[in-house]
Amino acid sequence: MSEQAAPKKRSRKLYVLWGVALTLLLATGAFCWLVVVPILEARSAVQHFKCAARCSSMRRHYNYEPSEIHKHVTELGGRRKALAKLAGYVWLPDWMEPERTQAVLLMGGCGPEAVPVLLELSYQFPIQDEVAYALRDIGQPAVTPLAEALSSKDATVRFVALDAVFHLSCRFPYEVSLDEALEPLLALLRSGCRGDGRRYESATFCEPEDARMRKSLSRRRCLMVAAVLGRIGKPAIPGLEKIASSEIDEARYAAAEALKMIKAAGEKN
State the DSSP H helix or E strand holding residue 61, giving kind and residue range, or none if neither.
strand 60-63
Ranges of residues in the chain with a pLDDT under 50 are 1, 197-209
What pLDDT, on a 0 to 100 scale, did the predictor assign at position 256?
93
CA 75 to chain CA mean position, Å = 21
**Residue 4: DSSP 8-state:** P
What pLDDT, on a 0 to 100 scale, did the predictor assign at position 210?
56
Gap between the Cα atoms of 165 and 178, Å rounded = 8
Q: 47-63 as b/e, with b when 16 or more CB fall inside 10 Å? A: eebebeeeeeeebbebe
Gap between the Cα atoms of 250 and 85, Å rounded = 42
Q: What is the pLDDT of residues 26-82, one digit of tens each?
A: 777 765 655 667 777 888 888 888 777 676 656 677 888 888 899 989 999 999 999
* pTM of the shown model: 0.74
Q: Are 131 and 106 in contact (CB under 8 A)?
A: no
Q: Are 62 and 133 in contact (CB under 8 A)?
A: yes
What pLDDT, on a 0 to 100 scale, did the predictor assign at position 208?
45
Beta bridge partners of 61: 54
Q: Are 146 and 181 in contact (CB under 8 A)?
A: yes
Q: Are 69 and 96 in contact (CB under 8 A)?
A: no
What pLDDT, on a 0 to 100 scale, did the predictor assign at position 144?
92
Q: How distant, in Å, are the alpha carbons of 37, 45, 108, 109, 194 from that of 67? A: 25, 14, 12, 10, 37
CA distance between the termini of the chain: 116
What pLDDT, on a 0 to 100 scale, did the predictor assign at position 195?
65
Q: Are 166 and 227 in contact (CB under 8 A)?
A: yes
How long a stretch of residues is the chain? 269
Q: Is 105 helix (H, G, I), strand (E, B) or coil?
A: helix
